[in-house]
Structure 1
Amino acid sequence: MSKQPVEQFLDSSRLKQAYINGEWIALSGNAPFDVINPATEEPAATIHLGNRDDLNKAVAAAKAAFPIWANTPVETRLAALDKIIELIEARTELLANLMSLEMGATLAYARGTQVPLAAAHIRVARENLAKYEFTEMRGTTAVTREPIGVAGLITPWNWPLYQVTAKVGPALAVGCSIILKPSELSPLSALAFAQIIHDAGVPAGVFNLVNGNGIDVGEPMASHPDIDMISFTGSTRAGVLVAQAAAPTVKRVGQELGGKSPNILLPDADFASAVGPGVQAGMRNNGQSCSAPTRMLVPRERLAEVEKLAAESAESIVIGLADNELATHGPVANKPQFERVQTMIQRGIDEGARCVTGGTGRPEGFDRGYYVRPTVFSDVTPDMDIAQEEIFGPVLCLIPYDSVEHAIQIANDTVYGLAAHVQSTDLDAARKVARQIRCGQVLINYPTWDPQAPFGGFKQSGSGREYGIEGLEEYLEIKAIVGFETQA
């Protein structure tokens, strides 16, 4: 019997290689590293991790390829992006299976959300490139935007393909060359994406991938003098280290970091239809999203009503194995995250918050795997750790407020400022509140995801923007050519 595509992929030598200068090559580092399936706690695959020597090879290849790719016609880059989109869609099943193995997404969620949203980032980059004006005239001065150069991309484990394409799409579109370091905890879909880049005919050296950890590859990427910018998505703690490493070379650093996003239910909101979607949004991808609205702010007099609705929604979540078509949620992605979530749930109990549903330990019926009970806390005060720290799991805090002004104060009372939600039947009221929340993106009444909406943070949630035109321009430098035209 012939092997299925995922089996063929896991048996292939590329898991132990880097993709550099258009070829799969052996890593100098060659350190084996098990990728753990969070549903079984057993290895799903073994990859090899690279080191500084591997990174240097990738940087040399990207540096040599940059001037050629930067000067290719827009039509050539558009055609490459079209082919990448086609191949992502054609290989949905392989990519979905790999993400299920590496970070625990159910197959249904990986097929229906993780892969399509990843393809959407490439599609948006293609659409924006097709209409982008790289030169504008200001009198006799030409203001041009040119690719910044070699881009180092460091991506996280929670949305392993989605975050890759959010960076690779615009970088490729404008003419940058790339070195990608995916998270070593969930690298499989990124390796499959590298093969897609190869099969799409992207020229050698334009895209390179080196697996590795933060010490041996991530830090040298940030400090490398021949890398012109770093785009990093991950924790605020790690983001600070990346910025410090990058500082001596004065390169651009774009960072999408942590969040503790509020969801304000204004007094006039339709609570019966607003609470449930808010719970599901906070627990989407098992709460492993930096923008997850994990603080639900509600009028104090409506708290009991919200508790009941929130518990019902959390208890409707079906936890199961990847191939269970009825399952909405699998395990959290890795052991450190499982332990972190368990610690924070216990801390919430110790702090005096009231556990409405969920709690510590695995859900009933699971004695292995990094499965977490969807948990709702009430009577949470803004100073509690569970209201201030990013838990990154399916844990929701219900925080009562006494006035709209009080709600806005609570919403802004964290070190983060990534995203927020506002629910109201009065659109003008929602808009007024949205303008007062210090964060990079506000969503009113659970709108459809918009990949053209710029995304990024205020405060310790990062700097720079991804998605949309703003995400494209992160990879561009501005040049003014004064006297470009003769004065009349």
Structure 2
Amino acid sequence: MRNYLDFYIDGAWVAPMRSRPQDVINPATEQVAGQISLAEAADIDRAVTAARRAFRSFGGSSKAERIDLLDAIIAEYKARSRDLADAVVEEMGAPAALAAVAHVPLALVHFEIARKILLKFDPSSELGSTRLVKEPIGVVGMITPWNWPLNQIACKVAPALAVGCTMILKPSEVAPFSGQIFAEVMHATRVPAGVFNLVNGDGATAGAAIASHPDIDMVSFTGSTRGGIEVARSAAATVKRVHQELGGKSANIILEDADLPSAVRQGVEAMMVNSGQSCNAPSRMLLPARRMLEAAEIARQTIGRQRVGPPSEEVDLGPVVSEVQWSRIQDLIAKGIQEGATLVAGGLGRPDGLNQGYYVRPTVFADVTNNMSIAREEIFGPVLVMIGYDHEEQAIDIANDTPYGLAGYVQAGDREHGRAVAMRIRAGQIALNYAPLDLAAPFGGFKQSGNGREWGEYAFHEFMEVKAILGYA
């Protein structure tokens, strides 16, 4: 049983101003795995005061000091990698292998990339006789989700630290264990008091207090589009910068000249990673309508090889994160059936033999039209929809016919053909022929998928302000 009842504020573990414990549920067992405390506005005030005070010195720290700090964090993070992986398995049900080879190392890479960029980063430039200077924006409030908990913490904390910001992190109260261990990493590396603060809590109280706080200069939020709207509303009164990485319903266009069997198989497998709980998941597969039957059979066979079970075992999919999430996925699967889509694999209920835990049957629908609920709404579970198109222009129109624009995928036999189609997709990151993830490339969305960019050097600029000194030269 994990009991993480204290917050990390001003370089020390401190009790909340008022005791408000909350159970954390292991989604594989549906049993209580531990407790955290839920913060109130007074706890946020205390963390902000510490961060504001720390910024006076850390905001002017040297590049060498911040590189040394990143080196220390990287070393300590590596030393705690097993503990971090165990926490991710327990808090959100990720298979142990996925936690070890993806969840934990992806977060580490963000720190390694930040260090590499900082070595060469020059915050100053000349524009005629004017001097342009980029400075750290100040105190940053960070609100992170449960689906890739460490990755989403690291992709904010690493660049913010690198440029000299101080911060208050509120990880998801649904999956807070890895965030706690991350704070232990920061404490062990002697991050200056007040530079990094961790406060647990829910969105309605702690999240709203962060977004609206007058002494927080920027809020960086990753989560649902609905949540992002509320954060922006709360932040509006203080005119702070709001960075948002929100939902997605990403199209995966399989072009006529692509290798259909390979493209469908890889698309199904990519959709099922992390039990479909990824904002950039290729959840809408667009393919030539005349080949729908063939593609559906390939998808059915691929799903048949997906192993679902306890995350401690050798499986491809563990449970989804919570009962709330499980119920939402079930509702949308039921809508897909009711609206006339063809159920190729999976369906309602738990997989056979799994009577406890929030397990979902990996599901594929064929013959989906883009006006169906399962094509419009972000399901955030292991559910793939297959949509047929008659010609390429129609495929591009369908891909762009969504309120989201986080990611897109294009599969083509001819690379130039794929490049041309990728240029026409209205989304922040497009992967050609299942290109591997590039954590140095900017990541963020068009439309209701958010604003601003994370990852790599683009993230540095998100956490900085520009000052122009006229007549400098």
Match of 1:403 among 385, 391, 411: 391
- State the partner residue of 2:405: 417
What does residue range 11-410 of structure 1 map to in structure 2 within 5 Å? Answer: 15-324=4-313, 326-410=314-398
1:111-133 alpha-carbon deviations (Å, 9 max, x no partner): 11100001111111111111111
2: CA distance between counterparts of 1:211 and 1:289?
22
Query: Take 1:279 and 1:74, find their aligned partners in 2: how far apart are those partners?
Result: 44
Query: Partner letter of residue 330 of structure 1?
Result: G
CA displacement at 1:29 relative to structure 2: 3.0
Which residue identity lines up with residue 458 of structure 1 in the other structure? Answer: F
Any idea what SS the aligned residue of 1:250 has?
Answer: coil
The CA deviation string for residues 417-446 of structure 1, in whole angstroms up to 9 with x for no partner, is 000000001111111111111010100011
Q: How many angstroms apart in 1 are the aligned matches of 2:295 and 2:350?
A: 25
Shift of 1:197: 0.6
**CA distance in structure 2 between the aligned counterparts of 1:37 and 1:153, rounded to whole angstroms:** 24
> How many Å separate the matches in 2 of 1:237 and 1:279?
27
Deviations 1:258-312 (A, max 9, x none): 1000000000001122111111111211110111010000001111111111111
Q: Does 1:441 align with 2:398?
A: no
TM-score by length of 2: 0.99
Separation in 2, partners of 1:169, 1:363: 39
Report deviation, 1:378.
0.3
State the match for 1:475 in structure 2.
463
2:423 aligns to what SS in structure 1? helix
AA of the residue aligned to 1:225: P
Letter in 2 for 1:388: R
Matched with 1:426 is 414
Distance 1:52 1:29 in 2: 11
- Give SS of 1:118's match: helix
- In percent, how many aligned pairs have the same letter? 52
Measure, in 1, the Cα distance between the counterparts of 2:462 and 2:375. 32
Q: Which amino acid aligns with 2:113?
A: V
Measured in 1, the distance between the counterparts of 2:95 and 2:273 equals 12
Paired residues of 2:309 and 2:354 also in contact (CA < 8 A): no
8 Å contact kept, 2:273–2:316:
no
CA distance in 1, matches of 2:144, 2:59: 23
Equivalent residue pairs, number? 473
Of the structure 1 ranges 121-130 and 178-187, higher mean CA displacement relative to structure 2 is found in: 121-130
Query: How far apart are the structure 2 equivalents of 1:372 and 1:87?
Result: 36
> What secondary structure sits across from 2:427 in the alignment?
coil
Question: Residues of 2 paired with 1:83 and 1:305: CA distance?
Answer: 53
TM-score by length of structure 1 reads: 0.96
Q: Moved runs in structure 1, 4+ residues, more than 4 A? A: none
- Alpha-carbon distance in 2 for matches of 1:280, 1:62: 43
Query: Aligned partners of 2:194, 2:271: CA distance in 1, in Å?
Result: 40
Deviation of residue 27 (structure 1)?
A: 0.5
Q: CA deviation at 1:221?
A: 0.6
> For structure 1, which segment, 452-461 or 79-88, has the greater mean C-alpha deviation from structure 2 after superposition?
79-88
CA–CA distance in structure 1, aligned partners of residues 267 and 77 of structure 2: 30
